[in-house]
Amino acid sequence: MKQEFTISLFSENHIGILNQITIILTRRQINIESITASESAVKGVHLLTLVVKTTPDMVRKIARQMEKLVEVLKVFVHTSDEIIYQEIALYKVTTKGLMSGNVIDHIVRTHYARILEVSPEYIVIEKTGHKTEITELLAQLEPYGLLQFVRSGRVAITRQVKELVSYLRELDEAHRVKPEEVETYNRN
């Protein structure tokens, strides 16, 4: 049965990595529901956060394939209850539509949103939350003259204690050359 998974892919920042990842997903006919790319807490390491809907078996297969890519350092797969996540949305609505009565105040407060900009022509509202909350606010604003709408991809951090930094340290220690190994190599 298909379910939603968040794939956190840590890689070096190389041109073409996203293309290689989309090829892996396309071959398996898996659509990307959301994608976000950013720097990570580790200098020189970037994070791609992908949201996909597939089976647990299939997500494990694609994660293993992604880890085989040269530029990829580590891939983590999480279900929604294993992470803390948010998305951000911006709504541009006509000022005239929202200024009737105290409609704007009520909508903004009810949805825990905030107003970013007010002009004679439009009002820009920001909402941070899960996709369902963002969609609910969109439905509420549409009757008042929605001019533009944009939603970001998912931004997520894990609930797990062991982080990428620990994993990279372990990897580094496993591959680190010990001084006695250097002496043995130099003697031969």
Is the pLDDT assigned to residue 169 strictly greater than 60?
yes
| Mean pLDDT within 55-65 | 95
* pLDDT tens column, 71-82: 898 899 999 888
90-144 pLDDT tens trace: 999 998 877 766 788 889 999 999 999 999 999 999 999 999 999 999 999 999 8
CA distances from 7 to 28, 85, 111, 176 (A): 15, 12, 28, 28
Q: 151 pairs with which residues across the strands?
A: 89
Q: For the residues 159-176, what does the mean pLDDT come to?
A: 64
Helix (H, G, I), strand (E, B) or coil at 80: helix
Give, to the nearest 10 degrees, the angle between helix 56-67 and helix 17-27: 150
This prediction's pTM: 0.78
Are 157 and 89 in contact by the 8 Å Cβ rule? The answer is no
Q: Percentage of residues in the chain with pLDDT exceeding 90?
A: 59
CB 23 within 8 A of CB 94: no
Pick the closest to residue 48 from 70, 25, 76, 23 (CA basis): 76
Question: In order of start, what are the domains of the chain with their CATH numbers?
Answer: 3-78 (3.30.70.260), 84-151 (3.30.70.1150)
* Predicted pLDDT at 96: 84
Read off the amino acid at residue 141: L
User: Sorting pLDDT into bands at 50, 70 and 90, what band is 180?
Assistant: low
Residue 59 has pLDDT above 90, yes or no: yes
Structure confidence at residue 148 (pLDDT): 96
